[in-house]
Amino acid sequence: MSKVDPAIRLPSLEGLAQAPIPTRYGNFQLRVFHWDDPSAHPALSKEHCALVMGDLKGRRSVPVRVHSECLTSEVFGSLKCDCREQLERAQAEIGKRGFGAILYLRQEGRGIGLANKVRAYALQASGADTIEANEQLHLPVDARTYDVAAAMLRELGVESVELMTNNPAKIEALRSLGIAIERRLPVLVPANQFSAPYLDVKRTRMRHELPSSSSHFKAGE
């Protein structure tokens, strides 16, 4: 596969800060970048992060997770999604290999912002699924873009990646931006009674490569 294509125009990326950060999965470098996307929701941060282990310049088959921010699960412990567990499993995989990167994109709520995400949660509590809730709010089902992820990979000097994802649309988007993806690494998290409907919508309506889950759970279990 070809490396990241330098001919593809990507956004201007500004490095703001970096420092070592010890974690329970090993020692990483945390790099913070500024990227101004005029099409992004105004509530979203313009600062994005790369959590990097090892020198990735010129490396091929680098394990990479492109991860969108999820305050509700990663900070408050919400059980409605699998975001926190996916993030932690990606860190663990990189720690095991001794090199890799997590590109942490500040695209809360699949790019609609925190307040809109919580409004969608309220509609879900009344019976809407995740797609229906966004549609009722007249919002995109998925407003995320991945230009900044491609720009960060170029800045890190990565030649090709093994992408940790269940989402074929993410693979298609990154490949369209010139990212060479050697293979997909599944990140499968067992469903709980609260996340099962969310995961099944991902599987049946958003093409995510996931096993069936909601049939295993009944209300109150």
Average pLDDT of the segment spanning 138-156: 95
Predicted local confidence at residue 5, as pLDDT: 55
Q: How confident is the model at residue 12 (pLDDT cuts 50, 70, 90)?
A: confident
Predicted local confidence at residue 38, as pLDDT: 84
9 is a catalytic site residue:
no
Structural domains of the chain, with CATH: 14-114+145-207 (3.40.50.10990)
The listed range with the strongest mean pLDDT (39-53, 90-104, 187-201) is 90-104
Q: How confident is the model at residue 208 (pLDDT cuts 50, 70, 90)?
A: confident
Q: Tens digit of pLDDT for each residue in 19-32?
A: 999 999 999 999 99
Please state, in angstroms and rounded to a whole number, the distance separating the CA atoms of residues 76 and 40.
24
Please state, in angstroms and rounded to a whole number, the distance separating the CA atoms of residues 86 and 102.
11
Catalytic residue among 89, 144, 147, 200: 144
142 is a catalytic site residue:
yes
- In degrees, rounded to 5, the angle at the alpha carbon of residue 101 between the alpha carbons of residues 35 and 25 is 130
| Mean pLDDT for all residues in the chain | 90
Does the pLDDT at position 152 exceed 60? Answer: yes
Catalytic residue among 82, 142, 147, 200: 142
Q: Tens digit of pLDDT for each residue in 156-167?
A: 999 999 999 999
